[in-house]
A and B are shown apart, each in its own frame.
Chain A
Amino acid sequence: MSRPDPEIARLLRRADPPAATGPADDLWPRMQQRLDHHPGFRLHWFDRVAIVLASVGVVFFPRVAIQVLYYL
């Protein structure tokens, strides 16, 4: 594969050689901790805002909500 700029490529490889991607420690224990701390379903903030707005709309404009439901 031809390098777009062999000189810059050579300098980059000298300044910051290719990564050694040898075996990392087993990360499963850390992954388990992450799963334990965030087990359940979480609503995205956008979804929460949408639910709040929809609830407010139903409370203050019940007729509009019924019409929307009808056409849905």
Chain B
Amino acid sequence: MLATTQAQEEAERLRDCANGDRDAFEVLFRRYQQEVFGWVMRILHDCGLAEDATIETFWRIWRAHARFDARRGFSAWARRIASHVAFDCLEKRSREPAPLAATGEPSAPRESPDHLVDLAIRRAFHELPAKLQVAARLSLVEERSSAEIAEALGISVPAVKSRIFRAIRQLRITLRELEVVP
């Protein structure tokens, strides 16, 4: 009952946003910005990109208010949009040269064999197609369930599992080519 009331309230706020009511939009934004930021951060692992992606997500929400389905809840809808935005960021980033050292340090100490393996893994992971990266990161690193990933990406659970499987296979092939044996 409480969930329905909240969903109705959010649907009303989105209708107000349609009329250009920025106060209504600000309420939604402040309520959900942390959640959206946290979700895209899990995918992108880059604070600056995650902030940009959060802004872009809410921008798309502002423009697409008419497509909101109150039965599904604002949170799930926002997460779906955020996933697509993060996916676009990853696709754009994958066209750039792969970084050897991404944001944040790997756990292994520098100059250890493990550190070299870590760098190779990061590089191999960065070379994966964006849609495989997203599924693999959310599942293997962030430990989200396949059902949760499927809902966020708007695909089926078997499709999520297929992407994870393909990501792992590709990682193993790339590591073998780099002559890195985990």
Binding site for B on A (CB under 8 A): 1, 3-5, 7-9, 11-21, 23-28, 30-32, 34-35, 38
**Chain A, Cβ-Cβ closest to B121:** A15
A-B contact pairs, 6 of them (CB 8 A): A4-B161, A8-B171, A11-B121, A12-B137, A16-B141, A35-B62
Q: Across the interface, do B182 and A12 meet the contact criterion of CB distance under 8 Å?
A: no
Report A43 CB to chain B, min CB distance, Å.
12
Task: Indicate whether A35 sits within 8 Å of B22 (C-beta atoms), given known contacts A9-B140, A15-B122, A19-B142.
Answer: yes
Q: Across the interface, do A15 and B106 meet the contact criterion of CB distance under 8 Å?
A: yes
In the assembled complex, which residues on chain A have CB atoms less than 8 Å from the CB atom of B172?
8
**Chain A, Cβ-Cβ closest to B123:** A15
> Is the C-beta of B11 less than 8 angstroms from some C-beta in chain A?
no
Q: Across the interface, do B42 and A18 meet the contact criterion of CB distance under 8 Å?
A: yes
Task: Indicate whether A23 sits within 8 Å of B182 (C-beta atoms), given known contacts A4-B165, A9-B140, A17-B107.
Answer: no
Task: Indicate whether A16 sits within 8 Å of B125 (C-beta atoms), given known contacts A24-B54, A27-B54.
Answer: yes
The stretch of B43-51, B64-72, B74-82 in contact with A is B43-51
The stretch of B25-33, B88-96, B150-158 in contact with A is B25-33
Give chain B's interface secondary structure class.
helix
Closest 6 CB pairs of A and B: A21-B38, A15-B118, A9-B140, A15-B121, A19-B41, A5-B168
Q: Which of A9, A11, A27 contacts B37 (CB 8 A)?
A: A27
Query: What 0/1 readout, one digit per residue, does chain B (92-107) give for beta carbons within 8 Å of chain A?
Result: 0000000000101011
Task: Indicate whether A21 sits within 8 Å of B125 (C-beta atoms), given known contacts A14-B108, A28-B33.
Answer: no
Q: Across the interface, do A34 and B140 meet the contact criterion of CB distance under 8 Å?
A: no
In the assembled complex, which residues on chain A have CB atoms less than 8 Å from the CB atom of B122?
15-16
In the assembled complex, which residues on chain A have CB atoms less than 8 Å from the CB atom of B137?
12, 16
Q: Across the interface, do A9 and B141 meet the contact criterion of CB distance under 8 Å?
A: yes
Task: Indicate whether A28 sits within 8 Å of B26 (C-beta atoms), given known contacts A8-B172, A12-B136.
Answer: yes
Task: Indicate whether A1 sits within 8 Å of B143 (C-beta atoms), given known contacts A15-B122, A19-B41, A24-B47.
Answer: yes
Q: Across the interface, do A13 and B140 meet the contact criterion of CB distance under 8 Å?
A: yes
**Chain B, Cβ-Cβ closest to A25:** B51
A9 to B125, CA, bound (A): 12
Q: Across the interface, do B29 and A11 meet the contact criterion of CB distance under 8 Å?
A: no
Report A17 CB to chain B, min CB distance, Å.
6
